[in-house]
Amino acid sequence: MSDQNDASQAQAAARLQHIGNQLDGEQAFFNPNRLKFAAGMPRGRAVNNTPLNPLTFLLRSAYIRPQRIAMKHPAIGVEWTYAEWAMRVCALAYGLKKRGIKPGERVAVICPNAPMILDLIQALPAIHGVIVPMNIRLTKPEVNYILEHSGSVMVVVDHEFAHLADDFKGPVIVSKDSGGRDPSCQYEQLIDEGRHEADTVGWPGHTLIEDEESDYAICYTSGTTGRPKGVVTTYRGTYLAALSNAAESRIFTESNYLWILPAFHAIGWTFPFAITAASAGQVCLRSVGDYSPIWESITRDKISHYCGAPTVQIGICNHPQARKVPHDIRTMIAGAAPSAFLIKTLEKLNINVIHVYGLTETYGPITNCIQHPEWAVDLDEDEFYRRKAMQGHAFVGSDEARVIRPDSDPSKGYEDVTPNGKEVGEIVMRGNIVMKEYWKNPEATAEAFEGGWFHSGDLAVRMPYGMISIQDRSKDIIISGGENASSLSIESAIYQHPDVLECAVVARPHEKFGERAHSFIILRPHAQAKWAGKEDEFNVDLKAFVKPLLPGFARPEWVEVVPELPKTSTGKIQKHELRKRFSSIIPSQ
Amino acid sequence: MSDQNDASQAQAAARLQHIGNQLDGEQAFFNPNRLKFAAGMPRGRAVNNTPLNPLTFLLRSAYIRPQRIAMKHPAIGVEWTYAEWAMRVCALAYGLKKRGIKPGERVAVICPNAPMILDLIQALPAIHGVIVPMNIRLTKPEVNYILEHSGSVMVVVDHEFAHLADDFKGPVIVSKDSGGRDPSCQYEQLIDEGRHEADTVGWPGHTLIEDEESDYAICYTSGTTGRPKGVVTTYRGTYLAALSNAAESRIFTESNYLWILPAFHAIGWTFPFAITAASAGQVCLRSVGDYSPIWESITRDKISHYCGAPTVQIGICNHPQARKVPHDIRTMIAGAAPSAFLIKTLEKLNINVIHVYGLTETYGPITNCIQHPEWAVDLDEDEFYRRKAMQGHAFVGSDEARVIRPDSDPSKGYEDVTPNGKEVGEIVMRGNIVMKEYWKNPEATAEAFEGGWFHSGDLAVRMPYGMISIQDRSKDIIISGGENASSLSIESAIYQHPDVLECAVVARPHEKFGERAHSFIILRPHAQAKWAGKEDEFNVDLKAFVKPLLPGFARPEWVEVVPELPKTSTGKIQKHELRKRFSSIIPSQ
């Protein structure tokens, strides 16, 4: 870092002091560096109380590590330091304000993992706007529903998905994802509109929000059933979730995070703020359809962290470029329970797994599979990875999660299941990393918060050694001959077959047993030729393979080889789509 | 971890469910593990809001890592797992309740770094009592003043310091520091009184505090001038300071913290909670007078972290047992500005320095010397360590610190000094890691919080590259011929002399210049014989040595070799004691 020119600094200071004096009532900072990066405090706060606000992480990083590369977009060869990025965000916030965005108003964002959404995640809280990130794989009617339900007043959309905003009656701003290079880009024009205020007044012109429990974002659930619900999160919750994620994943300033998990999914599990809290770097990646750019980025950008659902992780492991990474990577895996086999495969590549669990309603991850040092000594490799495939205990910023008896009394605070690895209950959570409410849906909120706990709808058993083993979403349980068979356990058994790349098990009506397991299988590339035209033989082979691994009622009755499985944009297998196959007999929901 | 016996667990669950049902209105947890470690939630909280409470870190660690060694006391060969320790703390809290301690009441603690104070730091918040930790080196009149001023209703005192509580009219409980082995110990009896409730009702019988801004502790400033003031800290502040310290010092569950910094000093800079937040281990050490036990513990207990003032760190570096540590250690150093030479010496021993700055009023450390990767490339070794001896930017949980012009206008939010490394201003802070107030001292509080910022009284310059270089406490500036000489800068120059172990520089009245620097020197052991009886020669030698390093007005006029320097219990040199030597000429305060 070279010293700056004192004389020109003094001039700048004098000029900025003049501007600062004009800021009515706000605390102005006359040091040029401070003027740039210190947002105004809300008035009348106690000296010892500042509202928890995740935006402050960016401002702090810009101030203390101005020259650290904050964000890279390798696809178009652009990168920004923290100082540059913070000023870009500052200008964007002024631009939004000029276009009339007022505190509390919702702005919808439709964007892949490009800088635009990462900018807006920071810029909207600067003007107390509420971000509504949209899944880029939604259909136009779904987008229209969310735009209307959220009452969004503006849409900012990536050029590739511009058609999704066609029906919107309000202002639509299209980004060409040019990284500031294309002046004809509407998004860059929006930033340019705020540039003068950013350069002259800077961050002190933006005042931090007064109430830390204000709405920060509305994230619509990906909606495996019914209409999507808008999950309202707060500044306080986002702040504490981000610090928890930074602690659980051990992100530091030397870390580089690769955007594989969509940033629109629960605000990228609050990682935009875990990263800025640590003054780490982040690397954009527009598409994860092809895994080559991931493997290229891992080495080129010295990636130390990424998050991803199991299906994405399977794709990463099985890509031809997959090899042992020369440095340590930590990956958070969640979205569906990963198999022990997948965790083992990742760790053999030097990709260390932090197995977490959560929902959009819990800002993404809220529990972590706490690995004990004794495991390495006491357990054989199979049991070691079986434990790593379990949950889990709540993050440091949250209250502990519970597994409760579904029929127990809310007015008595519910009963926990017996920790015997057998009694199935529902996972419930509470505390600062639980959403505020469902937007405009007090009935759904009341139902989800029954008894003072958030009800995940996910079923689990508590192990005698304290861990939570997730069984299934309620509807994923297969009731076979009166026994509850966990589709996840069946899938875990099937995954051990050497020819299986991916599988999904759902309940299918059965005359005698009520329900029985139907398994959909994607074969590994090498096995596709082997079993081509021999589906019956594979059927026999697989059934024989899982027989010793599963009780009779849980064994798959049907085995079906398929070329692909229906997935949500976040990589979750859409079991309701698979169940539709059998919906002429029973309703799928 | 071995599985537990299902049958006996079921029995326990049934028994505890019965007890749980009797808990009126509290949320009871019927899982035996949960019943042990889940404290009751305050009633009527929103699902998504739990008061920030640093006690929850212990409960979480006991729940998720019950078998991790939480605390070791090697001197008496005792250690506790998190599960054991949490139950001991639980019993202690019940014991205190039975002896009549009510919410908001103050309990004074006089204890070296033994388990008793670490227990009480956790137990008092369980019953909403307020801890008043006392410096063990105080005189009896000072102790009496604090007991009366704080309105303490009970004193818990270590046997070695029992005499300090002689005059107290209320209940005094003496600990023999027996680690639970001596039933005649009054402190163990106190714990035993709560044992039944701990074993049967457990933590659900303790309800977490309702308001996160409640008083957590009153820590009296060590009082280099005037009457000690009681610094009131909150649950929210302690929680956020602890998470910040854990992040800044990178403490994880595999870390082991050695208690060198007194735990009574600003609640050990909130490290008791940084440690429990990370589920790390802590190792007690009654006395730091002798450095041998420190060096023994470092290897034996695989110490990864400790905190200490510069004088303690000098003692550690210069001990005959000092050698390069075979594993990485991180040490937080603060309390007075360390010299670049000391930082270099520590790092050569593999003791990596995190140079922080703060006061009791800021929960201990609040700023950190942020080291930039460019330094290793751009700077030579001397400049590298000079930068490491500077401050610094505020912790992630705090607002940024400022250096303001002392004569600037509070009503306009003050002016920052020009970042030229020359203009001297005062360091001020605000945010969640600033104290709530001075206990029963609204005048001092108002003065300290003038203009909406906490005034540290410490003087500093802002460097062009953004760092803060602390000059001195106002009274440590030497005004020599109208020039401001920093006693710290003079000390830094003197420390470069190979024969100097420790030094302190104070202002001494001077007929011609007003003031002039008087330096007190402790020689290194090897140099003591060399200069014995040759004080004049050493005087000439030292003055010649520092001449090229200092401007004329800052050169020490007097050099005095002394066998020791007066220090506070936290290792700060008591310059007011040194100044008293010259107090017949000018008042020392």
DSSP annotation string for B408-465: S-GGGT--BPPSSS---EEEEE-STTS-SEETT-HHHHHHHTGGGSEEEEEEEEE-TT
* Cα distances (Å, whole numbers) of residue B588 to A282, B407, B455, B573, B578: 55, 24, 22, 15, 9
3-class SS at A393?
A: strand
Q: Is A412 on the interface with B (CB under 8 A)?
A: yes
Question: Using the beta-carbon criterion (under 8 Å), do A396 and B17 form an inter-chain contact?
Answer: no
Domains and CATH numbers, chain A: 86-466 (3.40.50.12780), 478-582 (3.30.300.30)
**Min CA distance, B298 vs chain A (Å)?**
21
pLDDT score at B5: 38
- Closest Cα to residue A222, out of A308, A339, A136? A136
Q: Characterize B548-571 residue by residue with b for buried, 16 or more Cβ atoms within 10 angstroms of its Cβ, and e for exposed.
A: eebeebbbbebbebeeebebbbbb
Which tens digits make up the pLDDT trace of A15-53?
333 333 332 222 323 344 555 677 787 777 889 999 999
B524: Cα separation from own chain's centroid: 28
* Cα distances (Å, whole numbers) of residue B505 to B333, B477, B487, B575: 20, 10, 5, 8
Sequence-distant contacts of A61-64: CB under 8 A, at least 24 apart: A61/A86, A61/A276, A61/A279, A62/A36, A62/A37, A62/A86, A62/A87, A63/A33, A63/A34, A63/A36, A63/A37, A63/A38, A63/B393, A63/B400, A63/B466, A64/A279, A64/B370, A64/B393, A64/B466
In what side-by-side order are the strands of the sheet with A230-234? A172-175, A154-158, A106-110, A130-134, A215-220, A230-234, A437-438
Which tens digits make up the pLDDT trace of A279-333?
999 999 998 678 999 999 999 999 999 999 888 898 899 899 999 999 999 999 9
Mean pLDDT of B522-530: 91
3-class SS at A305?
A: strand
User: How many CB atoms lie under 10 A from the CB of residue B163?
Assistant: 12
Question: Using the beta-carbon criterion (under 8 Å), do B63 and A393 form an inter-chain contact?
Answer: yes
Q: Which residue of A has its CA nearest to B245?
A: A247
Higher pLDDT, A582 or A393: A393
How far apart CA B573 and CA A111 sit, in angstroms, is 59
* Cα distances (Å, whole numbers) of residue B490 to B313, B460, B549: 20, 15, 9
Q: Give the 3-state DSSP-derived string for A247-263, with helices as H, strands as E and coil as C.
A: HHHCCCCCCEEECCCCC
Give the ipTM of the model, two decimals please: 0.84
Mean pLDDT of A239-246: 98
Q: Is A541 on the interface with B (CB under 8 A)?
A: no
Backbone angles phi, psi at B513, to 5 degrees: -95, 0
pLDDT score at B583: 54
Mean pLDDT of A158-175: 97
Which tens digits make up the pLDDT trace of B229-247?
999 999 999 999 999 999 9
pLDDT score at B226: 61
Chain B residues near residue A412 by CB distance under 8 angstroms: 21, 28
pLDDT score at B6: 43
- Closest Cα to residue B375, out of A67, A33, A275? A67
pLDDT score at B144: 96
pLDDT range class, residue B7, cuts 50, 70, 90: very low
pLDDT score at A585: 41
Percent of chain B with pLDDT over 90: 62
Q: Is A156 on the interface with B (CB under 8 A)?
A: no
> Does the pLDDT at position A480 exceed 90?
no
**Min CA distance, A303 vs chain B (Å)?**
17
Mean pLDDT of B217-224: 79
The one-letter amino acid at B548 = P
pLDDT range class, residue A473, cuts 50, 70, 90: low
Residue with tokens 């998004």: A187
B186: Cα separation from own chain's centroid: 28
User: Which residues are bridge partners to B364 per DSSP?
Assistant: B359
Which tens digits make up the pLDDT trace of A535-587?
899 999 999 999 988 888 889 999 999 999 987 665 678 887 888 777 544 33
**Min CA distance, B172 vs chain A (Å)?**
34
> Does the pLDDT at position B531 exceed 70?
yes
Chain B residues near residue A60 by CB distance under 8 angstroms: 393-394, 396, 400
3-class SS at B178?
A: coil
Higher pLDDT, B354 or A478: B354
By mean pLDDT, which of A370-379, B245-254, B521-530 is the weakest? A370-379
By mean pLDDT, which of A382-391, A415-424, B116-125, B466-475 is the weakest? B466-475
Mean pLDDT of B118-136: 97
Mean pLDDT of A154-179: 97
Mean pLDDT of B114-121: 98
How far apart CA A567 and CA A314 sit, in angstroms, is 14
**Min CA distance, A409 vs chain B (Å)?**
11
By mean pLDDT, which of A14-23, A399-408, B408-417 is the weakest? A14-23
**N residues, chain B:** 589
Q: Give this prediction's pTM.
A: 0.84
CA atoms within 13 A on the CB side of A89: 31
B78: Cα separation from own chain's centroid: 24
Question: Using the beta-carbon criterion (under 8 Å), do A29 and B465 form an inter-chain contact?
Answer: no
DSSP B555: S
